[in-house]
Amino acid sequence: MTAPARKVWLALGVIYFVWGSTYLGIKIAVETLPPLLTAGTRFLTAGLILVLILALRGRSLRISSRELLSSALVGLLLLTLGVGVVHVAETRIDSSIAAMIAGTVPLQVILMRTVTGDRVSRALRLGTAVGLVGLALVVLPGLGSGSTAVGLLVMVAASISWSIGSFLSPRLTMPRDPFVASAYEMLAGGVFLTAAALALGQWRDLGGGAITAGSAAAWVYLVVAGSLVGFTAYAWLLRAAPISLVVTHQYVNPLVAIALGMLFLSERPSPFTLAGAALVIGAVYIAVRSEAPGAPSGNAAPSATSEKRASQGRRKPQYLNGIGATEDAG
């Protein structure tokens, strides 16, 4: 570590809770607010705030046209078709179910690595197979129940888009400053989502008491905590702590989401769903342990030096965290 352990664990606690709670926040927001418009305005607002903060701190926002296109593509895959579509899915499924499906993203990325010829250990391949069985246990029981089935399929599609964006992001020419990259990704994702919401006429759904105290508070929480505080803590952790420790949020976040959904929304996952969640979380734990520095693996995890370089802009694939130095998982 390059920072005191107390500060590292405080930042970890932030991303454990904040990113795990975003699924609850989304569920509350879309109970009355139109989903695409909620997501679009959330990311536009967060992106503009981040741009303002960077400008006030004297950080250059100038990037090349290639970097702009890459940021827009990542924003489209991660935020528009990824997190934005999660808002749509949660109009039809429980927040805890959404979190369980999203938790398979690291396993999907491992599958993509295997298909494209990357060296992946046998333990990692086995863990991925077990995790995908867990995903089936989460999804299959609800496929015959109309609206819920649509929500499940939409959520799976969102997780696949997030995985593709995670897989491609390290291979694209991105801005050197991860905060600048995140700002452009949020702005691009927000523009795409807001444009889609306006094209579908979702602005008409804002009348008749759609903006309640609860939905407004949830929207503000998603902007401030989910997008700004969570990402800032995460970006700092990439520089201050081992990647193997940082990525533990991948299996903690679904647990937080399940607990909050049961506590505040009276969600009651079925035994099959909970068994599937256990398999997914266990598989992600195996993946994190298998690629931790020093672990025997077909593909060694990046060292602290390479991690620091990547976070400064010389990007190398960072598969463990599933998202690189980009936006939040919820």
Nearest of 78, 106, 105, 72 to residue 181 by alpha carbon: 72
- Specify the pLDDT at position 244: 75
- Specify the pLDDT at position 297: 42
- Asked if the model's pLDDT at residue 29 lies above 60, the reply is yes
- Specify the pLDDT at position 245: 85
pTM (predicted TM-score)? 0.87
Q: How would you label 189-213 residue by residue, b for 16+ Cβ within 10 Å and e otherwise?
A: bbbbbbebbeeeebeeeeeeeeeee
| Contact partners, residue 186, CB within 8 Å, separation at least 6 | 43, 44, 46, 47, 50, 75, 79, 227, 327
Count of beta carbons in the 10 Å neighbourhood of residue 311: 21
Nearest of 79, 82, 85, 93 to residue 27 by alpha carbon: 93
- Asked if the model's pLDDT at residue 6 lies above 80, the reply is yes
- Specify the pLDDT at position 330: 57
- Asked if the model's pLDDT at residue 230 lies above 60, the reply is yes
Q: How far apart are CA 117 and CA 133, in angstroms?
A: 22
Mean pLDDT confidence for 129-138: 94
- Asked if the model's pLDDT at residue 79 lies above 70, the reply is yes
Q: How far apart are CA 199 and CA 184, in angstroms?
A: 22
Given a contact cutoff of 8 angstroms between Cβ atoms, the answer to whether 120 and 300 are in contact is no
- Asked if the model's pLDDT at residue 75 lies above 60, the reply is yes
Angle (nearest 5°) at CA 318 between 45 and 96: 55
| Contact partners, residue 88, CB within 8 Å, separation at least 6 | 30, 35, 36, 154, 158
The better pLDDT of the pair 144, 305 is held by 144
- Specify the pLDDT at position 99: 95
